[in-house]
Structure 1
Amino acid sequence: MSSVIKHKSVLCSLALLDDSSLFLEVFFFFFSGQKKIYNMAVGVVDFLKNKNILVIGGTGFLGKVFLEKILRVQPDVGQIFTLVRAKDFQSAKSKIQKEIICSELFRLVQELYRGEYEKFMAQKIVPVVGDVSIDDDLGIEAEHRNEICSKVDIVVNLAATTKFYERYDVSMGVNGVGAINTINFCKKCPNLLILIHVSTAYVNVGRTGIIAEETVKMAIDGLTMGPSEIKRECGLITKTLEEMRSTAHAEDSLKHKAETKRMKELGEERARNFGWPNVYVFTKAIGEMMVEQMRGDMPVVILRPTIIESTLAEPFPGWMEGNRMLDPLFIGYGKGRIQTFVAENNLIVDVIPVDMVANCMIASMYKHAKQSDLFIYQVATSVENPLFYDVGVDAAYKYFVSHPCTTKEGKMVEVKIPFILRSMESFQQYMKLYYKIPIEMLHFASLLLCGLQKERYRQLLHKYDTVMKLAMLYQPFIFFQGKFDNSNTNFLWKGLSKEDKQIFKFDVKRIDWTNYFYNIHIPGLLKYVSD
């Protein structure tokens, strides 16, 4: 009874405070069973001061946005060791210079420091030659490894190969074994406050309904997937490669092509065998399971973004790099190459701007530093602010009508109202009628003309087969019926101070999807990505 009265008196006192976020933090400290927050009196920006961070995958799309935000808001951050796959330090340094320091993304940081920009970046970003897939030293030479281990406070693992049809050895090496190596490396860091492991919400792509922020599970022959099963999969990869190399007699280029084809097929086979639609989400799920099983009492956050797209606001709207999942459709449509889309009625596509993901990453490492639990955050929009597929398509139509693309000859491309096929069956029938049959007719004509159109027939057939292959790979995502719960992410947001909320915004309810696509995302695509 006395402890209950004590708790009530604390809550009554806190209710008088103006800062409701502090009230929430202390309330959940008493009643949710969470461990004590690292330092409730320190804001996120202050927390970053003097922290040394190891970033794995820092030269990727999300990694750059993460780095930019930290360097812009906290110039007194410690060293940011950035793991780079390169042959030597000079090559790693050149890659950092080209892909980070000279990136348009960092122009606000450059404006802040002007003539001192290069010096500032050189002081903060330390290139480290390594490879997350090699070993539990991350491929880092001993002298550098010891220095990093002794200094590092935070490890952020962003490393990933995201191709749906990737070689199994490559995908397993980065997404699966890489997670194991990262955990083992973190155990060598005596001052580690937290590991942030960035995964994907689509590790649960086969499920329907509301998908909770819980650990992912998988059974293999009645056993839980663990390090021994990963070793078995790696053994299968090695055996397959050795058999191919021992029997191959073709030229090196042809051997490599055959090997790549077999590794991609093996990845697809193993993924489907265990219930995943492609090797990417399969190996990312493996990575999560390894982190969960091997962390011990290490403080860990698993962050699961959905489909990451261009910046909503920071450091400026619309920045983008590389073709993401939806972007080839928008660019192809605007340039007149695509007129047909595939989607069910009322389909929800879970998209999240990249700057919101980076902000959530930073807030989560602040909130959970020094805790011994595992926390999972899904950075998603499908529950709180769903984006309906037709909204994006409609915004694309209106944008390209008002801002038409031009051909190389300077002619404006006139877009038509998109034709949307509402099932995979209708898509297959459409492709057969308008593509496969004409291709076969060309083949028949080629035979009559003594093979004059034989090469053209092969090119078109290859293109058709590629489109159908991609359609099958993307089908589980195009027609995905699940929604990603983001309750933990909401709690994280609500627990921030007013000041932190102004700096680290990731409240998805504030996104206006029509405005985002029409005024931000599509213009950004055309500026930064379009070919």
Structure 2
Amino acid sequence: MGLRERLAGRRVFMTGVTGFVGEALLERLLSDFPDTRIVALVRPRGGQDGAARLRRQLRKPAFAALRERLGEGAADTLAARVEVVDGDLASMPDLPADIDLVIHCAGEVSFDPPVDEGFATNLGGVQELLRAARAGGSSPHILHVSTAYVAGLRSGHIAEGRLAHDVDWAAEQAAAGRARQGAEDASRTPEQSAAFLAEAQAKHLRAGAQSVSRDAEDRRRQWVRDRLVRAGAERAQVLGWTDCYTFTKALTERYLEDSHGDLPLTILRPSIIESALARPFPGWIEGFKMAEPLILAYGRGEFPDFPASPDAVVDIIPVDLVVNAILAAAAQTPPAAEPAYYTVCSGFRNPLLFRELYEHVHEYFVAHPLPKWGRGPIAVPEWPFAGARAAEAKLRNGERVASVAGKVLEHVPRSEKVRRWASEFDRFEARVGFLRRYSDIYRAYTKAELVYVDDATKALHDALDDTDQADFGFDPACYDWKYYLQDVHFPAVTAILRKPRDPSPPRRAAANLPANADALAVFDLDGTLVSSTVIESYLWLRLADEAPAGRARELAGLAAALPRYLRAERTDRGHLIRSVYARYKGADPEELARIIDEVAGDILLRRVKPAAIRRVRAHREAGHRTVLLTGSVDFLVRPLAPLFDEVVASRLTVGPDGRFTGKLAASPLVGDARAAFLDHYAGRVGADLSASWAYGDSQSDIPMLRAVGNPVAVNPDLSLFRTAKANGWAIEEWPSTPGEPRAVVPSLRERSLFHVARAAAAATVSAGAPRAARGLTGAGSDAARSTTGGAR
């Protein structure tokens, strides 16, 4: 009988149907085995149960030809043929008692998982599978999809069959489970905690204590993960395997050999699985596998060399040949006492040398270069195959360049050009990191100069009748490498990089703001709304009516304090605000009010960015409640009050002598305090933060931006710029007002106008008329804020 007849009536339990091999296998069973009954284990995820996820799976390109063949209602027809069992490898329900065959395709496929996760998924998943099968009362044929690389760090020809090693799978599994607790304990020592805190403070101190704590804990978790990844890789190589993936796969095989008992067992070992030769269609691939990242990096001109022997065999096999071999092995049930082993590979019967692979890749990209949008085609390098030492030297040099450039960028003043440099540097750093990761992962593979022998697999293929060999063949000699690589595989994996790109800038806030009376629009002041700093604002007021000698003394004193202010700006913005405003000690509030009204206010208004004014007005037209949230003092921002429904600012206390004390009435709202204030404020006015907007320009604004559903980074510093890019926040460039005053000292004309205005005011006062000074309502004691109702 043919394969269709031998599998007819069988009830097949499958794992991994949402994975690469499992999806291709499911498509083949649904297309060509109408009398085979399928039960699939599918993990609920993202609010969807297993059945919903399967229906989504059946709408993917792999099933397009099948849907077209079935016509209207195809999705329902296909879904009806698959019985879905909700569960995963960690916990699955007992298998039905009438299961005839289990095809286990699921598992951890990352080369470098944390050691406990690798064991839990690969070995623990198979243990749970055998438990579920026996608990349900079935005695199925177990077909386990492993990998050819369980052979480990060996050389020469590798035959099919039981692996030759005496590693105790139970002891290694137990040690891997303990490794997690050990890493967690080590990460919480005082020394390690101090290191995490210091690193977080160096990056996020301006954002506030909560942001620092969150980042320190993230660093601790990443440290634990990295330690467990290293533990898996090092333990694997000590025992003779390339990495944690092959190590756990090999011990999973040993567990099955020791524990399958009276259940027939087949272990199928594919080599490097790549895109389809023919089914479901040529070039079909889901995600990037082992070779694709390297192929694409070479095509982008980012891979100058690779530490591999040019005459080593690269064992690649198309996914549909693997699926066909699974079907043939599934139809051939071995005796329970004699497990069957099949290696599905190409290196023995259709070898591809690494040098030949490079030549195919190079030839393809020379003929079909990837586009560098706006800069023409990308030129690809010629590999000298200089060896591992030379490749490592080039990589280390790139890492040194990245380290130096990163430190320089952190101290360059912000600008749009600097942000472009930062984007280019981030891409360069990511490329270097990519090369380091793949160099470390593949180094062991390039040292293993071996050839997998597939005698049993060839015999399985030869036993098929002519029709099945034509429909379900898996002979690796059936295709030519140039055709498969250059006509099928490379076009498929590079297609995404050849699609025309949208040349638009980073995501911006919506042009047409949705109407919503429950939304807030919260704006920072310095650097966001206006092109100024706290220090500049102070100088506008302090120097407006000073004689040259007084200005010189003030500027000299400020220059002496400037290094301290700059340090405060980089570490504690609240301290900076307190330090600068302490210089107002002894100032007359009424005199400052007049200066604001007559001179300095005009300077402030001329430094407001036109785009900011337009955005504030757009929010008001949409019915949003506009809020100015700033650490600046209330009397300074008074000219902007008509733009906003509420102004939240700092306030200086006044002493018994009627003059400012230089002390704030409450702590300034900076960093984390802004997020806490917004949460309280939204509850007080009935606003919906998830529908609200916030605009900021610096790292200290990050907590405020995280608090709303629509954060916008305006002319951001590098820290905020990178955070915004990482989180998909809108990034906007708001240019300064053309011709705005750049000097902090008022011009001669501005001072003259001021003197005229002051003389007129003095004359009015002496005549008994009230002074024309504007006032601000006071702030509550629990927050430094000033409220001014602006008419909509």
Range of TM-score over shorter length: 0.7 to 0.9
CA distance in 2, matches of 1:458, 1:191: 55
- 3-state SS, counterpart of residue 149 of structure 1: coil
Q: Look up the match of 2:359.
A: 394
Partner of 2:587: none
User: Of residues 21, 26, 29 in structure 2, which corresponds to 1:67?
Assistant: 26
Matched, 1:276 2:241: yes
For 2:74 and 2:413, locate their aligned partners in 1 and report how far apart those are by CA, in whole Å: 65
Letter in 2 for 1:216: L
The question of whether the paired residues in 1 share the 8 Å contact of 2:110 and 2:245 is answered with: yes
Residue of structure 2 equivalent to 1:125: 82
Q: Which amino acid aligns with 1:155?
A: V
Structure 1 residue 230 corresponds to structure 2 residue 173: yes
Residue correspondence of structure 1 range 47-126 to structure 2 within 5 A:
47-78=6-37, 80-86=38-44, 90-98=48-56, 100-126=57-83
Is 1:264–2:229 an aligned residue pair? Answer: yes
- In structure 1, what residue type is equivalent to 2:250? A
Residue 331 of structure 2: SS of its match in structure 1?
helix
SS at match of 2:456: helix
* TM-score (normalised: structure 1): 0.81
Q: Structure 1 residue 397: deviation in Å?
A: 2.4
> What amino acid does structure 2 have at the position aligned with 1:225?
D
Cα 1:349–1:343 change in 2 (3 A) is same
- Relative to structure 2, which stretch is displaced further, 344-353 or 519-528? 519-528
**Counterpart position of 1:14:** none
Distance 1:416 1:328 in 2: 15
Q: Secondary structure at the match of 2:348?
A: coil
**Rounded Cα–Cα distance in structure 1 between residues aligned with 2:185 and 2:490:** 46
Instruction: Say if 1:53 and 1:152, in contact at 8 Å, map to a contact too.
Output: yes
Give the C-alpha shift of residue 180 in structure 1. Answer: 1.9
Query: Which amino acid counterpart does residue 40 of structure 2 have in structure 1?
Result: T
Q: How does 1:153-164 map to 2 (within 5 A)?
A: 153-164=100-111
Look up the SS of the partner of 1:150 in the other structure: coil
Match of 2:453 in 1: 485
CA contact (8 A) 2:348 2:451 kept: yes
Once the two structures are TM-superposed, the CA of residue 465 in structure 1 deviates from its matched residue by 5.4
Residue 517 of structure 1 and its aligned partner are, at CA, apart by 0.4
Match of 2:122 among 155, 175, 190: 175
Aligned to 1:426: 390
CA drift at 1:440: 6.0
CA shift digits 1:249-284 (9 cap, x unpaired): 754534432332232222223323323231111111
Whether the 8 Å contact between 2:114 and 2:232 is mirrored in structure 1 is yes
Q: Does 1:187 align with 2:140?
A: no
Any conservation in 2 of the 1:384–1:508 contact (CA below 8 Å)?
Answer: yes
Deviations 1:470-513 (A, max 9, x none): 31221121232010010110110111111221221101111211
Would the aligned equivalents of 2:143 and 2:266 in 1 still touch at CA under 8 Å? yes
- After the TM superposition, which residues 208-219 of structure 1 pair with which residues of structure 2 at under 5 Å, given as runs? 208-219=155-166
Range that drifts further, 366-375 or 240-249: 240-249
Q: Is the 8 A contact 2:310 2:353 kept in 1?
A: no
Contact 1:89 1:127 in 2 (8 A): no
Question: Could you tell me how far apart the structure 2 residues matched to 1:528 and 1:314 are?
Answer: 20
Counterparts of 1:77-476 in structure 2, within 5 Å, are 77-78=36-37, 80-86=38-44, 90-98=48-56, 100-132=57-89, 134=90, 138-140=91-93, 145=94, 148-219=95-166, 224-241=167-184, 244=187, 251=214, 252-368=217-333, 372-409=337-374, 411-416=375-380, 418-433=382-397, 435-436=398-399, 438-439=401-402, 442=405, 464=432, 467-476=435-444
- Alpha-carbon distance between aligned partners in 1 of 2:367 and 2:436, rounded to the nearest angstrom: 32
**Are the counterparts in 2 of residues 276 and 282 from structure 1 also a CA contact under 8 Å?**
yes
CA contact (8 A) 1:198 1:302 kept: yes
Task: Tell whether the 8 Å contact from 1:200 to 1:306 is kept in structure 2 after alignment.
Answer: yes
Indicate conservation of the 8 Å contact 1:303/1:376, yes or no.
Answer: yes
| Per-residue deviation, 1:525 | 1.0
Q: Structure 1's 84 and 246: CA in aligned 2 closer, same or farther, altered over 3 A?
A: farther
Displacement after TM superposition at 1:228 (Å): 5.0
Distance 2:434 2:278 in 1: 36
Give the C-alpha shift of residue 231 in structure 1.
Answer: 3.1
Contact 2:8 2:35 in 1 (8 A): yes
Q: Is the 8 A contact 1:347 1:389 kept in 2?
A: yes
Cα gap change, 1:108 to 1:458, in 2 (>3 Å): closer
Is the CA contact (8 Å cut-off) linking 1:309 and 1:354 kept in structure 2?
yes
The whole-number CA distance in structure 2 between the counterparts of 1:339 and 1:226 is 40
Do the aligned partners of 1:150 and 1:190 also contact (CA within 8 Å) in 2?
A: yes
Q: Distance in 1 between matches of 2:284 and 2:156?
A: 32
Alpha-carbon spacing, 1:59–1:419, altered in 2? closer, same or farther (3 Å): same
Q: Which amino acid aligns with 1:167?
A: P
- What aligned pairs does 1:5-24 form with structure 2 within 5 A after superposition? none
Classify 1:192/1:408 alpha carbon distance in 2 versus 1 (closer, same or farther; 3 Å).
farther
Could you report, residue by residue, the CA deviation over 1:172-211 in whole angstroms, capped at 9, with x for unpaired residues? 1111211222223233354434111011111113011100
CA shift digits 1:335-371 (9 cap, x unpaired)? 3333434431212100000000000001001012665
Q: Secondary structure at the match of 1:405?
A: coil
Counterpart residue number, 1:25: none
Kindly state the Cα deviation for residue 520 of structure 1 after the two structures are TM-superposed.
0.5
TM-score, normalization by structure 2: 0.55
Q: Is the 8 A contact 2:156 2:450 kept in 1?
A: yes
- Alignment RMSD: 3.0
Give the Cα separation in 2 of the matches to 1:371 and 1:89. Answer: 41
Residues 305 and 391 of structure 2 are in contact (CA less than 8 Å); yes or no, is this contact kept in structure 1? Answer: no
Of 149-158 and 184-193, deviating more is: 184-193
* Residues 363 and 422 (structure 1), Cα distance of their counterparts in 2 relative to 1, 3 Å cut: farther
| SS of residue paired to 1:128 | strand
Cα distance between partner residues in 2 of 1:459 and 1:127: 43
Q: What secondary structure does 2:289 align onto? A: coil
Instruction: Answer yes or no: is the 8 Å Cα contact 2:152–2:240 preserved in 1.
Output: no
Shift of 1:328: 1.2
Measured in 2, the distance between the counterparts of 1:216 and 1:357 equals 21
Identity %: 25
Question: Whole-Å Cα distance in 1 between the matches of residues 79 and 336 of structure 2?
Answer: 32
Deviation readout 1:286-339 (Å, 9 max, x if unpaired): 111111110112111101000000001112111011111111122222233334
Q: 2 CA distance for matches of 1:365 and 1:332?
A: 38
* C-alpha distance in structure 2 between counterparts of 1:44 and 1:443, whole Å: 60
- Structure 2 residue ranges without an equivalent (≥5): 194-212, 500-792
Larger radius of gyration: 2
CA contact (8 A) 2:146 2:269 kept: yes
For residue 441 of structure 1, report the CA deviation from its aligned partner: 5.7
Aligned in 2, Cα 1:450/1:50: closer, same or farther, shift over 3 Å?
Answer: same
Verify the 8 A CA contact 1:268 1:279 in the aligned structure 2: yes
| Structure-1 residue corresponding to 2:772 | none
Q: Give the stretch that moved more between structures: 120-129 or 379-388.
A: 120-129
Change (3 A) 1:381 1:462: closer
Aligned residues: 472
